[in-house]
């Protein structure tokens, strides 16, 4: 009985080691080929679950203070590079001592999911709200806006369908404007 158990266990352990090591071997810089025909309307990324009309709220302590981020998936679509992207409305607030919550940015992000479930980022229409030292509004800026296919900007991967520890990938690329 010990011999049979050993012969059954050894291949299982070997298969696990090969499986685990091959996953680690593939971790690293990920570059997926872009093709407009490789996208679908459904959204099935486990790590970026979104539903039309749903709002996701995130808070983070940053250098400037407490930041509140509200992200809402709209029913709207925008065609970018031949792909029907989903428009996501993203609003950012900063808690300013003695002032309260101050609107710092509004963004319309363009996201699409490929046939493998990877979420792609096709750009953003950003409005940054500018304030003086006393938090009086002094204007806006569209400087961070970009769209894939315009002036050399490229779509990037927002979230892989099956990420691995150590994976790295470009989320957005518009030279000098958006290089994450």
pTM listed for this prediction: 0.76
Taking residues 66-76, report their average pLDDT.
Answer: 96
Residue 53 C-alpha from the chain's centroid:
18
19 has pLDDT over 80:
no
Q: Considering only 69-83, 88-102, 160-174, which range has the smallest mean pLDDT? A: 160-174
pLDDT at residue 18, as a whole number: 34
Taking residues 115-128, report their average pLDDT.
Answer: 94
Give the contacts of 47 (CB within 8 A, at least 6 positions apart): 159, 160, 161, 163
Taking residues 35-40, report their average pLDDT.
Answer: 88
pLDDT at residue 46, as a whole number: 86
Judging by DSSP bridges, how do beta strands 83-96 and 137-141 pair with one another? unpaired
88 has pLDDT over 50:
yes
Please give the structure tokens belonging to residue 66: 């407490």
108 has pLDDT over 50:
yes
174 has pLDDT over 70:
no
């Amino acid at each position: 009985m010990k011999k049979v158990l050993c012969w059954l266990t050894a291949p299982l352990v070997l298969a696990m080691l090969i499986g685990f090591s091959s996953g680690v071997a593939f971790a690293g810089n990920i570059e997926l080929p872009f093709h407009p025909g490789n996208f679908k309307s459904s959204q099935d990324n486990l790590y970026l679950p979104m539903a039309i009309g749903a709002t996701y709220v995130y808070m983070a302590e940053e250098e400037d203070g407490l930041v509140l981020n509200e992200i809402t998936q709209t029913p709207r679509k925008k065609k970018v590079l031949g792909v029907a992207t989903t428009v996501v409305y993203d609003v950012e607030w900063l808690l300013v001592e003695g002032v309260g919550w101050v609107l710092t940015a509004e963004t319309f992000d363009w996201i699409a999911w490929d046939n493998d479930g990877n979420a792609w980022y096709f750009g953003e229409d950003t409005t940054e709200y500018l304030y003086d030292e006393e938090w009086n509004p002094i204007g806006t800026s569209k400087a961070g806006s970009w769209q894939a296919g315009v002036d050399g900007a490229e779509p990037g991967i927002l979230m892989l369908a099956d990420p691995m520890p150590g994976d790295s990938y470009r989320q957005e690329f518009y030279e000098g404007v958006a290089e994450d």
